[in-house]
């Protein structure tokens, strides 16, 4: 019997781990590698370290069937997939040190004919000039001749990762056609969406262009909400009806743009570009300013109260996830604390964090303002009539247009929107 092809995935985070499970359940021998000991020991004991719908089932299948193994050390494989973080540094540039150390690890074990795929979102040129170059400098192997090199950006939505990994279309960039074809074979084992092949740099920019489009659109919605407020017009009604036009799709205003991708990727487009993109930068600044606008609104609402208390309903960066990365809730929280406001948090999705939430009743007790920061589905079960007697002053600031204003007024709360 032919030996199964082996794949080593570097980075066992939100993308690397689900991808490892998919491949392990699709006929490959997979080794999941991470440098963090606590991640390795949890996964090695058959326990997840991240919350994501449907992930546990596919992880346990691969883990129990031993097609997915976990290790802190890299091992010789046929294919190497890099899925490590590429955060933003203090100068708004891509921090590529994790990509560099992953490539250094691969350099030590790579053989002729192997395939390397970079999945981490990166500025154009990274796959060839960083990953490819490290391998060539260390081994003399030439990309496209001695080994295959591809970029295949992840495009899945946190909260729907497992579904979207299978069903989304994928873009694959290769240093040459053969590299793209080799990578396509790997993804075809579990992807039901279409797969499109292009050049390395094009695929790198496609990923950034998608998230930047969303950032600019949200910045527009946020700016529109400020303008509507000035005119005394309901921004949600404007957007709802404008979006009925067949060629308009304005996203929603909110308390800011969080997560590890949308607030980061627009900077990757402009970091090496000589053309000054005022649009991309301005949109980033508008969205980064939103938490301060919301904190200002909170302070205005509670301005007449002694020793005020604000209660966050939701604290994660978006609905139905426990992910706190770049959550705009944090700058709002800090701003309120700085102004001497007492703050409590109710977010049933958040665990193991210094912002770990208390129960709903305790969080709302003696509160002067409930700040609906993110509209988790479970919040639909909150009975505001029962919360009303617990609070000191019945105010709600709804940053997501989550509550029905009329129904809310019947519960005795005052409604404040954006």
- Whole-number minimum distance, CB 25 to ligand SAJ, in Å? 21
Contact 13, 50 (CB under 8 A): yes
- Of 254, 308, 331, 394, the one binding ligand SAJ by CB under 6 A: 254
- Whole-number minimum distance, CB 182 to ligand SAJ, in Å? 23
Helical pair 278-301 and 200-231, crossing angle rounded to 10 deg: 40
Q: Enter the tokens of residue 286.
A: 């508008």
* Residue 70 engages ligand SAJ in binding (rule: CB under 6 A): no
Interface of this chain with ligand SAJ, residues 303 to 342, rule: CB under 6 A = 317-318
* Residue 257 engages ligand SAJ in binding (rule: CB under 6 A): yes
Of 18 and 258, the one with the shorter C-beta distance to ligand SAJ is 258
393 three-class SS: coil
Interface of this chain with ligand SAJ, residues 150 to 169, rule: CB under 6 A = 154-158
First-to-last C-alpha distance (Å) of the chain: 64
272 burial type by CB count under 10 A (0-12 exposed, 13-18 middle, 19+ buried): exposed
- Of 11, 18, 259, 417, the one binding ligand SAJ by CB under 6 A: 259
Of 284 and 318, the one with the shorter C-beta distance to ligand SAJ is 318
Interface of this chain with ligand SAJ, residues 193 to 252, rule: CB under 6 A = 210-211, 214, 218, 251-252
The active-site residue, picked from 261, 298, 309, 318, is: 261
User: Total binding residues for ligand SAJ by CB under 6 A?
Assistant: 20
93 counts as catalytic = no
363 burial type by CB count under 10 A (0-12 exposed, 13-18 middle, 19+ buried): buried
- Of 99, 135, 261, 298, the one binding ligand SAJ by CB under 6 A: 261
Residues in CB range of 229: below 8 A, 6 or more apart: 235, 418
Contact 11, 84 (CB under 8 A): yes
The active-site residue, picked from 197, 207, 297, 309, is: 207
Residues in CB range of 274: below 8 A, 6 or more apart: none
Q: Give, as one character, the DSSP assignment of residue 344.
A: E
Residue 305 neighbours by CB distance under 10 Å: 14
Of 136 and 287, the one with the shorter C-beta distance to ligand SAJ is 287
276 counts as catalytic = no
Could you list the active site residues? Answer: 207, 261
Q: Which residues bind ligand SAJ (CB under 6 A)?
A: 121, 154-158, 210-211, 214, 218, 251-252, 254, 257-259, 261-262, 317-318
């Amino acid at each position: 019997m032919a030996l199964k092809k082996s794949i080593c995935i570097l980075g066992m985070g939100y993308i690397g781990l689900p991808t490892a499970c998919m491949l392990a359940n699709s006929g490959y021998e997979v080794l999941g590698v991470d440098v963090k000991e606590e991640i390795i020991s949890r996964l090695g004991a058959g326990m997840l370290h991240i919350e994501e719908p449907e992930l546990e089932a596919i992880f346990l299948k691969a883990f129990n069937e031993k097609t997915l193994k976990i290790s802190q050390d890299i091992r010789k494989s046929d294919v190497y997939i890099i899925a490590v973080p590429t955060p933003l540094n203090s100068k708004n540039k891509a921090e590529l040190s994790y990509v560099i150390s992953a490539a250094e690890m691969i350099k030590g074990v790579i053989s002729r004919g192997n395939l390397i795929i970079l999945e981490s979102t990166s500025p154009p040129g990274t796959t060839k000039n960083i990953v490819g170059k490290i391998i060539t400098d260390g081994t003399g192997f030439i990309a496209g001749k001695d080994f295959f090199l591809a970029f295949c950006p992840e495009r899945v939505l946190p909260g729907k990762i497992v579904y979207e990994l299978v069903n989304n279309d994928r873009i694959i960039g290769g240093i040459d056609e053969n590299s793209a074809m080799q990578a396509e074979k790997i993804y075809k084992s579990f992807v039901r969406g279409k797969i499109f092949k292009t050049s390395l740099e094009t695929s790198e920019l496609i990923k950034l262009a998608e998230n930047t489009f969303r950032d600019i659109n949200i910045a527009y919605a946020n700016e529109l909400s400020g303008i509507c407020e000035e005119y005394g017009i309901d921004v949600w009604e404007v957007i709802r009806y404008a979006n009925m036009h067949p060629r308009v799709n304005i996203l929603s205003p909110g308390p800011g743009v969080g997560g590890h991708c949308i607030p980061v990727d627009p900077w990757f487009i402009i970091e090496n570009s000589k053309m000054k993109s005022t649009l991309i930068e301005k949109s980033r600044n508008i969205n980064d300013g939103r938490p301060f606008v919301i904190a200002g609104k909170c302070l205005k609402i509670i301005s007449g109260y002694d020793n005020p208390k604000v209660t966050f309903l939701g604290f994660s960066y978006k609905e139905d996830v426990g992910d706190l990365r770049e959550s705009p809730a944090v700058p709002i929280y800090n701003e309120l604390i700085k102004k001497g406001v007492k703050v409590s948090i109710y977010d049933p999705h958040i665990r193991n964090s210094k912002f770990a939430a208390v129960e709903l009743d305790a969080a709302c007790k003696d509160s002067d303002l409930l700040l609906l920061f993110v509209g988790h589905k479970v919040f639909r079960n909150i009975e505001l009539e029962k919360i009303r007697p617990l609070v000191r002053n019945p105010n709600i600031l709804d940053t997501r247009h989550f509550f029905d204003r009329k129904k809310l007024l019947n519960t005795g709360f005052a409604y404040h929107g954006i």
